[in-house]
Structure 1
Amino acid sequence: MKKPMIALAIVFALSVTQSSQAQVQQAAGDSQYASNESPERESLIEKILNLIGLREEAQTLLEKLRSRMESGERGRPMPFQKVDLATTGPAVQTWVAGQKPIPGVHSAMIEGKTYILVSRGEKPNPGYGIGIRNVIEEPDRLVVQVDLRNPEPGMMYAQVITTPIDVVEIPQTNKPVVLENMIE
């Protein structure tokens, strides 16, 4: 493990331990711990970081970690390309045809790439749509974020059965794919 990561682990462990302790004591009514930023904690962290010579690097890493935790960011955006079904190969077209009637998210590894399909299933008119907005790579899975389109109130639509889908390709991966917040 690299020195900055060791320093970050120490700082983070101390922060979490102190925060948890302060929350328990604050809940018990001990006003001495109203803030989790105690001088003793800061002094200990400073001593450890100065001892291993990584104070600035650890502080930078800790700030990035805190920012990421506060923003709710869980992973990193993964680049993807929309798939043009008219020009893609027959293996992908066959897979899409089999999956598109089934609402939800589907993935398959075909010819060295991973394909992700999101479907709303059969709908009564073309006012419905779906589009993949982001693919977020987390340590143990891929999270697909989608935008849904519903018919506009008062609009007239042809009464034909449609199957709104979107398909993208990403580099090959074995990670499971999950759909975030597709509520009909």
Structure 2
Amino acid sequence: MNPSRESILDKTHSGLKIYAHVLRQYYPGDPVLSLSGRDCKPTKNPFNEDKPTLWIKIVDGCAFHVDTEHAISSGDVFHFAAMHFKENDAALFYALNKEMHLRIGEKSFYGNSTITADPESPAIAMPRFSYFTMPITNTHPSKEVNLLDVYELIKGEFYTDCTRVLRKIQDNKEARA
């Protein structure tokens, strides 16, 4: 797998690590980025006489830079890296992958870290039970049903007439009979 823009941004914290890597080449030992929320405080610009005019911020998952004195044109992290590495497109992606040891597309020490799909969980069988009809002394089930069947019987039209008759009974003795 060749390094792509998305894979590099994913491994470099939206490109901030690329800015830090390039700036460390020019200013070793100095703190190069000072993060403040999703923006960075102005830092030294190696392409503008080392003045603190480089302002970096993250927009939509990609780091962008602006030079406050317009010494360099505004752009994204790959534009900034292209000025340092003097490469473009696929060659730049390959250079970033190699220089920063991102290991995109390389087999890891422990083998490929591919995620396997979860095994299909077995379908849970719905429990079935015997359904008896009147009279109460009946010892032979009329059919075997599951909970879904019983729910449909209760909510459906099958017992509607019986329910209406029972609800109309006002006398307690008659209702208990």
TM score, norm. by length of structure 2: 0.22
Which structure has the larger Rg over C-alpha atoms?
2
